[in-house]
């Protein structure tokens, strides 16, 4: 199977695809037309040698993914139909103050709040719950392992709960469309919905797998880093998040390029989790995913090169 450097994410009623420095988001509007926004972002890993170091590049990639994700998510939200209502005094004041930038500012603040809540729920809450067991479980290693299990359990519960929301279900369908389209591309078949729909909605480079590995890697990291004071143990759960993300990125990067049996076995939990975070898309969703790919990648030329043996695994 031939692999590409294309990755993406689902947005509201659409798909974002990124290839090297170029990205594009395609959105299905209420009138069923497809709207496309294209952009370019040159990664820090290309501009600074330090950012290309192992683990560091993972931290950089994670931050850049959040930035591009926020930008494309803001774009897709502009096409969501809302009930007509009279804006309140506060909303009118903020609109007058910030103008067209208001939606972006609100989305940015929402993302910041979500990030803080994620740290509190997935990092600090499991630590606090495991620390309550100190009187019953004196072993630090065992408590840290239990903390990790609680963290994974909370994460799985969160995924299961949001997967039952109707709005999120549509995002998960577009997530499935993204994966199916990339899988079809990497198998060398023409990108038409009839071909794409037969491929798997699971993919080893998925962000869902990345997040699960963050949870698992955190267990190992916190077992080896010990401090005496409670406040420092809590702070380390926050400070080390970038390093843990960087380590997790290295594995996902390896998994996306390798068919090694051990790597494939370690990838299985993340792939299984994608059964919750992806859904089978309809044909219109597949068309949106194809439109996003075609805005950043000449797949016909790529597949022609594959047939001529010009591209190696």
Q: In what order do the strands lie in the sheet with 7-11?
A: 7-11, 14-19, 22-28, 34-40
Band of residue 84 on the pLDDT scale cut at 50, 70, 90: very low
- Confidence (pLDDT) at 274: 92
State the Cα–Cα distance between residues 129 and 194, nearest whole angstrom.
49
pLDDT(161) > 80: yes
pTM: 0.83
The per-residue pLDDT for range 105-129, each reduced to its tens digit, is: 766 777 788 888 888 888 899 999 9
Cβ(70)–Cβ(111) below 8 Å: yes
Nearest to 21 by CA among 52, 42, 44: 42
How distant, in Å, are the alpha carbons of 27, 189, 282, 297 from that of 193? Answer: 16, 11, 9, 17
Band of residue 88 on the pLDDT scale cut at 50, 70, 90: low
* Residue 9, H or E segment: strand 7-11
Band of residue 85 on the pLDDT scale cut at 50, 70, 90: very low
- Confidence (pLDDT) at 111: 72
Band of residue 301 on the pLDDT scale cut at 50, 70, 90: confident
The residue-averaged pLDDT of 125-144 equals 90
């Amino acid at each position: 199977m031939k692999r590409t450097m294309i990755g993406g994410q689902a947005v509201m009623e659409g798909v974002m695809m990124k290839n090297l420095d170029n990205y594009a988001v395609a959105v299905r509007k209420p009138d069923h037309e497809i709207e496309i926004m294209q952009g370019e972002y040159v990664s820090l890993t290309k501009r600074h040698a330090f950012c290309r170091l192992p683990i560091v590049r993972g931290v950089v990639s994670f931050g850049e993914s959040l930035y591009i994700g926020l930008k494309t998510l803001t774009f897709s939200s502009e096409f969501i139909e809302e009930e007509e209502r009279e804006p309140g005094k506060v909303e009118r004041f903020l609109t007058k103050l910030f103008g067209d930038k208001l939606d972006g500012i609100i989305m940015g603040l929402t993302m910041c709040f979500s990030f803080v809540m994620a740290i509190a729920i997935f990092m600090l809450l499991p630590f606090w719950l495991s620390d309550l067991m100190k009187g019953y479980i004196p072993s630090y290693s065992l408590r840290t392992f239990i903390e990790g299990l609680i963290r994974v359990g909370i994460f799985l519960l969160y995924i299961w709960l949001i997967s039952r929301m109707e709005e999120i279900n549509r995002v998960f369908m577009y997530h499935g469309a993204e994966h199916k389209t990339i899988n079809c591309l990497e198998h060398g078949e023409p990108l038409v919905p009839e071909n794409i729909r037969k491929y798997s909605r699971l993919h080893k480079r998925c962000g869902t797998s990345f997040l699960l590995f963050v949870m698992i890697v955190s267990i190992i990291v916190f077992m080896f880093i010990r401090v005496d004071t409670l406040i420092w143990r809590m702070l380390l759960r926050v400070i080390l998040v970038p390093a843990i993300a960087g380590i997790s990125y290295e594995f996902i990067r390896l998994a996306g390029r390798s068919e090694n049996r051990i790597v494939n076995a370690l990838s299985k939990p993340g792939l299984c989790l994608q059964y919750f975070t992806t859904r089978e898309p309809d044909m219109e969703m597949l068309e949106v995913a194809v439109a996003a790919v075609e805005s950043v990648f000449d797949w016909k030329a790529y597949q022609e090169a594959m047939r001529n043996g010009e591209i190696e695994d």
